[in-house]
Amino acid sequence: MAESRVVVTGLGAVTPVGTGVDRFWEGLVAGRNGVGRVSHFDPAAFSSQMAAEVKDFDPEKWIDRKSASRMDRFTQFAVAAAEMALSDAGLAPGRFPPERTGVIIGSGIGGSASIEQGNAQMAAKGPRGLDPFFVSRVLVNMAACTVSIRHGLRGPLSAPSVACSTGANAIGDAFRVVQRGDAEVMLAGAAEAAITPLAYGGFCATRSMSRRNDRPEKASRPFDKNRDGFVMGEGAGVVVLENLNHALGRNARIYAEMAGYGNASDAYHITAPDPSGEGMVRAMRAALDDGRMPAEDVGYVNAHGTSTELNDKVESAAIARVFRNHAPRLKVSSTKSMIGHLLSASGAVEFVATVLSLFRGIIPPTINYEEPDPDCPLDYVTGGAEAVSFRAAVSNSFGFGGGNVCLAIQTYRSSPSKSPA
How far apart, in whole angstroms, are the C-alpha atoms of residue 142 and residue 139?
6
CB neighbour list of residue 151: distance below 8 Å, 6 or more residues apart: 82, 86, 93, 98, 101
- Mean pLDDT along residues 60-79: 97
Phi, psi for 310 (deg, rounded to 5):
-75, -45
- Give the right CATH number for 259-410 from 1.10.10.10, 3.40.47.10, 3.40.50.720, 3.30.300.210: 3.40.47.10
Per-residue model confidence (pLDDT) at position 416: 62
Is the pLDDT reported for residue 72 higher than 60?
Answer: yes
Per-residue model confidence (pLDDT) at position 421: 40
Could you tell me if 16 and 235 are in contact, meaning their C-beta atoms sit under 8 angstroms apart? yes
Could you tell me if 82 and 140 are in contact, meaning their C-beta atoms sit under 8 angstroms apart? no
Is the pLDDT reported for residue 418 higher than 70?
Answer: no
| 193-252 tens-digit pLDDT | 999 999 999 999 999 999 999 999 999 999 999 999 999 999 999 999 999 999 999 999
Per-residue model confidence (pLDDT) at position 420: 41
Per-residue model confidence (pLDDT) at position 168: 98
Q: In the CATH scheme, what is the code of domain 6-249?
A: 3.40.47.10
| 113-163 tens-digit pLDDT | 999 999 999 999 999 999 999 999 999 999 999 999 999 999 999 999 999
pTM: predicted TM-score of the whole model, two decimal places: 0.97
Is the pLDDT reported for residue 172 higher than 70?
Answer: yes
Residue limits of CATH 3.40.47.10 in the chain: 6-249, 259-410
Residues involved in catalysis = 164, 304, 341
Closest C-alpha among 227, 234, 207, 206 to residue 35: 234
> What is the residue-wise DSSP string for 345-395?
GHHHHHHHHHHHHHHHTEEPP--S--SB-TT--S----SS-EE---SEEEE
Coil, strand or helix at 77 = helix
| 269-323 tens-digit pLDDT | 998 999 999 999 999 999 999 999 999 999 999 999 999 999 999 999 999 999 9
